[in-house]
Amino acid sequence: MQKIMNRDEGFTGLEAAIVLIAFVVVAAVFSYVVLGAGFFTTQKSQEVVYTGVEMASSSMEVIGDVYGLDTASATKVDMIRFTLGLAAGGSPVDFSTVQMVFATSANVDILNKSPTLVSTTNPGTGNWSIFEGATTSDVLLEGEDKFTILAKPKVALVENQEFNLEIRPSTGASFGLKRTIPAKINAVNLLY
């Protein structure tokens, strides 16, 4: 009887089953972690794509010509007038949050919104305003809307001077307007 009690062969199968179950549990936990990380990465990639599409889709375009105005009869262009609309498929742009940056080879200025954002008068030096196309309660450029903008830089522009006016909405791509003052300045000048 003593010989039967000393044999441990029955425990080998039980130990193997315990080790196998442990491997299965560890593999299940590891696969759960790997799949979770994969789903997280996929979700972040999807958010980046959607954000990129949103940023690119809110583009604007100039409708018609860009004019340089000489309002002070000093043979210098002191105001820029242009009309903006949405490009095909563009997202609406809230002009109450738009920032404009005016740059020449000599200086860069941030133009402020006129205290009266929608106005039919001169916006004042260093300011911009919506001249036509909006109301004081609706400054959202959407659909087929067209806003005529008046921008008055801090420094008047002289003959053959190049400038860049960058329109930066709160969301979406900024829009650059690069033009050159003509060789002869009149009261109203077509800018190319």
Euclidean distance between CA atoms 120 and 149, whole angstroms:
10
The answer to whether the CB of 159 falls within 8 A of the CB of 184 is yes
Q: What predicted TM-score, i.e. pTM, was given to this entire model?
A: 0.70
pLDDT digits (tens, 9 = 90+) for 91-116: 889 999 999 999 999 999 999 999 88
The answer to whether the CB of 180 falls within 8 A of the CB of 80 is no
Which amino acid, residue 107? N
Q: Does the pLDDT of residue 38 top 90, yes or no?
A: no
CA angle 84, 88, 90 (to 5 degrees): 75
The two structure tokens encoding residue 40: 């997280």
Average pLDDT on 119-146 reads 91
pLDDT digits (tens, 9 = 90+) for 56-99: 555 789 999 999 999 887 789 999 999 999 988 778 899 999 99
* Range list of H helices, 61-154: none
